[in-house]
Amino acid sequence: MQKVKRKASDEAPPSTKKKVKLNKADSVTSKNNEIKHSNKTEAGNFSKENTNKKALDKKKFKDKINMKIKGASIYKDKNVKTPSSQDVSEKPKWSEMKKQKKELRLVRRKAKATTSVFEMSHKARLLAAQIQRKVVKQDFREKACKELHGLLKGQYKQIALTHDLSRVIQVLLKYSDLDIRNEITHELLEIMEQMSKDDNVKTLGDAYKGSPEMRGAILSACKANIQRILDKNLHDSELLHSVLYDFIRECGPEDRAELITTLSSLIVPLSNSLPGVNAASICVWQGTNKDKKTILKVVKEHVKPLSTHKTGYRLLLAIFDSVDDTVLVKKTIVSVLANNLKDVAKDHWGKMTLHWLVKPNDTAAFHPNFIKFLKDGAKSGTSKKDSDIRISELRDGIISSILEDIQTDAEFWLKDPTIALLTMAVLSIQTTTEALKSISKAICRPDWRLENNKNILAVEDAGMHMCLKKIALLDKGRSGDTLGKAIIDNLNDETWQIISRLPALIRYGREFVMDPIEVIAIYEALEEESVNIGFIP
């Protein structure tokens, strides 16, 4: 039994346990391989899914962008339908879009204006562009100007107030012949006032009043234009003078100093207009000593014409008030006036010049606003000398010459009330016995008449009455020789010849300051002649 069992055991397949072990190992490896294969397939499937998802997301994002671009640019009009999903994916063509916008703009313009006006303006702008080209022959430019003028003739008043076609008119005024420019100006005369600066903008400062941030840019552009005009020696225009006066008041200290240096040599032509002479006065007040010497050097050759000019005399008055070197002023200006006294005094503005030298700030001869203008200007300037000292030093150079001329020809200095005011100003500052005698002789002359009113005697003229009264008032408080005594001396010679006009002289006798004994002597002389003098003061 045991042997059989052994055989059976011997005949059984060897190492069954090993085979089982091998089979288990094989199953494990096969399972591992299956797991690995399944993982690979799953990973591959997962990466494919991710790739497809990213592509889809990217496409959707592009589609959204294209939709927004097209919707914002092309499909603004409510009447245009939104595009389909197929159209959105296409890229926009910018050239076509710009072309469409241009066409729409032209359509809108045509809708606003008639077809003829639109075509005319379009053609006019093209011609103006050709005329402005630098590389253009003169013959072609003249022909184009004539064609453009023919196109716009009769319509200048309508198009001058538009923005685009007004520049076309400027091109014609710049490049066309004189005849065409005259025709354009003739058409535009009726609307010149409407074409000029805004009612709220009357000075340069008003231009940026509402926008202070534009001040620097406006002043810079104005300075460049002024310099360009001055470089071309076009300094006689009153419009330029007005802009200069505005600019020199509004600009900063550096620009003002630079402009004053430039204008010092142009001070005489600048004084031909009121805004120009105001700008010139600022140059005198605020200029350096070097600038003032340059101005005096230029003025020296034009003293007499300036003193008799309606605005030029203001420049001389500004010099009298602000130049500290009185010796130089007397040498260059005052001496010239003293050598031409009568020629200067004949003129109204010349009398004003002499009057300011003798008695500045006199309200009897100058308007208070004008006095204030000169006072404020002198205070804002660079002068350091005391004004009273300057006035007395300049006065000494002229008053003695006037007194000498009064002694020799008093009738000239009393020939009309305006020059009599100057004589009164001189006598209120300084007088001499000879001057008073000469004046009394002129007053007592039987046939003394004024140049501007020869129908009546001079003492019967209302203006001369007032002047004689004021001259007589100067005797008050004065010791020594007086005008009253000088008149009494002249009455003794030919009393009967002046009786008929003496009452007119004494009619204002309440303020005619004489010694009472002198007045009584006059009346006694008149009573001897049995003359009724009427009003007795």
Q: Which residue has the tokens 């003129």?
A: 347
Residue 30 binned pLDDT confidence (cut-offs 50, 70, 90) = low
Rounded-to-10 torsion of CA 28, 32, 34, 40: 180
Residue 22 binned pLDDT confidence (cut-offs 50, 70, 90) = very low
Rounded-to-10 torsion of CA 254, 255, 257, 261: 140
Structure confidence by residue, pLDDT tens digits, 124-168: 889 999 998 888 888 999 999 999 998 888 888 888 887 778 889
Q: Which residues contact 255 (CB under 8 A, 6 or more apart)?
A: 219, 223
Best-predicted range by mean pLDDT (342-356, 415-429, 495-509): 342-356
Contact between 276 and 311 under an 8 Å Cβ cutoff? The reply is yes
Structure confidence by residue, pLDDT tens digits, 386-396: 999 999 999 99
446-452's contacts with Cβ under 8 Å and 24+ in sequence apart are 446/494, 446/497, 446/498, 446/501, 448/411, 450/415, 450/416, 451/415, 451/416, 452/416
**How many CA atoms lie less than 13 Å away from 82 in the CB half-sphere?**
7
Q: If you average pLDDT over residues 428-432, what whole number do you get?
A: 90
The dihedral built from the CA positions of residue 343, 347, 353 and 354, taken in this order, carries a sign that is positive
* pLDDT attached to residue 531: 42
Going from the C-alpha of 501 to that of each of 179, 424, 457, 461, 498, the distances in angstroms are: 65, 22, 7, 11, 6
* Residue 527 confidence (pLDDT) above 70: no
* pLDDT attached to residue 33: 56
Q: Is 43 exposed, middle or buried (0-12, 13-18, 19+ CB in 10 A)?
A: exposed
The model carries a pTM of: 0.64
In this structure, the chain runs to a length of 537
Which among 321, 365, 356 is positioned nearest to 337, based on CA atoms?
A: 356
Going from the C-alpha of 118 to that of each of 17, 109, 113, 323, the distances in angstroms are: 110, 8, 6, 63
* Residue 57 confidence (pLDDT) above 60: yes
201 or 264, higher pLDDT: 264
Instruction: For 447, list phi and psi in degrees, rounded to 5.
Output: -105, 30
Q: Is 518 exposed, middle or buried (0-12, 13-18, 19+ CB in 10 A)?
A: middle
Q: Which residue has the tokens 């595009």?
A: 83
DSSP alpha helix (H) spans, 12-93: 16-73, 85-88
Tell how far CA 290 is from the center of its chain.
Answer: 26
Across the chain, mean pLDDT equals 78
Distance of alpha carbon 252 from alpha carbon 31, whole angstroms: 96
Q: Which residues contact 403 (CB under 8 A, 6 or more apart)?
A: 426, 430, 431, 432, 435
Structure confidence by residue, pLDDT tens digits, 80-89: 444 444 444 5
Q: Which residues contact 447 (CB under 8 A, 6 or more apart)?
A: 457
Q: If you average pLDDT over residues 362-376, what whole number do you get?
A: 93
DSSP alpha helix (H) spans, 409-515: 417-429, 433-444, 462-473, 483-491, 495-498, 502-506
Of 73-82, 462-471, 482-491, the poorest mean pLDDT is in 73-82
What amino acid is encoded at 520 in this protein?
Answer: I
Contact between 361 and 371 under an 8 Å Cβ cutoff? The reply is yes
Of 313-322, 340-349, 414-423, the poorest mean pLDDT is in 414-423
Best-predicted range by mean pLDDT (21-30, 448-457, 514-523): 448-457
Give percent above pLDDT 70 in the chain. 72
Which among 406, 398, 314, 300 is positioned nearest to 354, based on CA atoms?
A: 398
Contact between 476 and 525 under an 8 Å Cβ cutoff? The reply is no
Q: How many CB atoms lie within 10 A of CB 182?
A: 11
* pLDDT attached to residue 462: 79
Residue 304 binned pLDDT confidence (cut-offs 50, 70, 90) = very high
Distance of alpha carbon 63 from alpha carbon 481, whole angstroms: 114
